[in-house]
Amino acid sequence: MATTIRKTAYFSMKAPNRAGQAARLLNGLAAHGVNLFAFTGFPNAGRAQVDFVPYDVAKFLRAARKLGMKVNKKKTVFLAQGADKAGAIAAICSKLSKAGINMVAMDAVTAGRGRYGAMFWVRPRDTARAARILRAR
């Protein structure tokens, strides 16, 4: 199975860095039928930053508005999925490196059954070039 890379939208927001906040947000979105490609959260300046990568941007934004979520403007993230093998992520990093594109951050995991998934970011000014180089759809 070949690696597929897609360029898609994500939204971030600040939330209290307390137990249960992610569950509250995610349960609220699920109640509105919002499905996510990915979700990540981490501490940031005494609060938490949470990032949502929705399948359906319009549906996510409608639900977020109804839930009173104050999400920031749409940004771009790359999602990679493919066969879990040695060097799978290294190949992506190498292609960007050879083009002089700095990867800002990456999160990757094995998905079981011989598959992996990753999400990664580049600087906004490098997004179009990275998409071309990686043949992101």
The CATH code of the domain that includes 129 is 3.30.70.260
Instruction: Tell me what pLDDT residue 111 has.
Output: 87
| 63, 58, 126, 50: CA torsion to nearest 10 | 10
Residue 25 lies in a domain: yes
Task: Summarize pLDDT for 77-117 with one digit per residue, the tens.
Answer: 999 999 999 998 999 999 999 999 999 999 999 988 999 99
Task: Summarize pLDDT for 33-88 with one digit per residue, the tens.
Answer: 999 999 999 999 999 999 999 999 999 999 999 999 999 999 999 999 999 999 98
Residue 59 lies in a domain: yes
- Name the residue range of residue 25's domain: 11-71
Kindly report the pTM of this predicted structure: 0.91
* Cα 92 to the center of its chain, rounded Å: 16
Report the run of H or E that residue 12 belongs to, with start and end.
strand 4-15
Q: Which residue among 20, 40, 71 closes a domain?
A: 71
Counted domains in the chain: 2
Residue 6 lies in a domain: no
Please check whether residues 83 and 130 belong to one and the same domain.
yes
Please check whether residues 62 and 22 belong to one and the same domain.
yes
Residue 102 lies in a domain: yes
